[in-house]
Amino acid sequence: MFYTHITDFESISIEIYQKEWLNHSEIARKLWRNPSTITREVERYKSKITWKYSSKIAIKQRKEKRYKVNKQNRQRIKNDEFLIKYILSKIKKYWSPEQISWRLKLEENIIISKDTIYKFIYENYPELIKKYFRRKWKKYQKDRKSKYQLMDRKMIDERPSIVDKREIIWHWEWDTVIWVRWWNKEVILTNVERKSWYLLASKIKDKSSNSVLEETIKIFSKIPKYKQKTMTYDNWREFSEHRMIEYFTKFDVYFAHPYHSRERWTNENTNWLLRQFLPKKTDFQKLSKNQLKYFVSLINSRPRKRLNYKTPYEIFFN
C-alpha cells in the first residue's frame, strides 16, 4: 500500500461514513487506509462550530497549505543564483522541467518538483516557453480523438436497431478493466451479453491490441456461433485490431461514441458488480484465473430483478 496524502474524494467519503456512524477502523478498511491516518485527518480538520470533521474545511486548508509550500519553493529558486543559472542553462539545452528536477536531485541532492520549476518559468521567464518548450503554451487535449483515433470504425449509429430491444441472445459489449496503479500492466477483459447479462471475464498480461485479439478469439471459440452477432467496443487503442476480430470471430463490431459510456451501460453496470470482489487498488498479479472464474460464476448465478429474478446463466443457456 502507498501512503499518499488524503484526497478530496476521500475527505468527502470520511464525512459521509461518519454520518453513518462508522468508526475509524471501519472507514480505514473501506478507504484502504491505516486507522491512525483517518484519526489524524479527523482530529486535524474539525469544525469549530460543530466539533465534527468537515470535508469542506479539510479541502480548503489543504489547498492553502499547498499554495504556501509552492510559493516558498518558488521563492527558494528566486533567492538562489545557482538554481536560477542551472535551470535556465538546462532549459536552453531543451531540457524539460522534469528532467531538470531529477538531475538536480542526482547531481546536487536538491529536491525541487517539476511543477515548481514550471511555475517559476511561467512567472519569470515566459519568453522561454515558446522557444524551448515542446508544447509551447499548448494545453493537453482533454478529448482523445487524435490520440486514440481508430481506423475503419463502424459507429453505434450503424448498429441494427434490433440490438436495442434485447430480444435475442446475440449481442455483446466489451471493455477492459484496470483497477490497480500504473506499475501493473495486467488487465481484465469483461464481455457482457446484452439480453441475458451473462458475463465473460479473463485476465491478460497487458492491454495491447494483440493481447485483446488473442484472448477474444480464445474466449469466443467456446461460445456457440449463433450467439455471436454484434460486438460494441469503447474507443481505446486496445481495440485497434477490430477488423481482425471480425475476421476470426465473424462478429459485426461497432464502437460507442467517445465519452458516451451510457451506450455501453450493460457492460459498465456489470463491471461495477465485479468491483465487489475486486475493489480499486487490487493487485491483479495476485489474482489467479480460478479466483476470477469463481467471482464471475457468482455474478452469473445471482438472480436479477431486470430478469424477473432469473439468473444470467439460466437466460443465456436456456
pLDDT in tens, the chain (318 residues): 444 778 888 888 888 888 888 888 898 888 888 888 888 888 888 887 778 888 888 888 888 887 777 777 667 787 888 888 998 998 888 888 888 888 888 888 888 888 888 888 888 888 888 788 866 555 544 544 444 556 778 888 888 888 888 887 788 888 888 765 545 578 888 989 988 899 999 888 887 888 888 888 888 888 888 888 888 888 777 777 888 888 888 888 888 887 787 888 888 888 888 888 888 777 787 888 899 899 999 889 888 888 888 889 988 887
Contact 281, 187 (CB under 8 A): no
Q: Are strands 199-204 and 230-233 parallel, antiparallel or unpaired?
A: unpaired
Rounded (10°) angle between helices 81-91 and 97-108: 130
The set of residues, in sequence order, having a beta carbon less than 8 Å from that of 53 and lying 6+ positions away, is: 14, 15, 18, 41, 42, 45, 46, 47
Contact 206, 185 (CB under 8 A): yes
- pLDDT tens per residue across span 144-156: 444 455 677 888 8
Closest C-alpha to 84, from 51, 106, 64, 110? 110
Backbone angles phi, psi at 92, to 5 degrees: -75, -10
Grid cell locating 48: 469549530
* pTM value > 0.75: no
b/e code 287-296 from CB counts within 10 Å (16+ = b):
beeeebeebb
Distance from C-alpha of 281 to C-alpha of 240, rounded to nearest angstrom = 27
Place of cell 470535508: 55
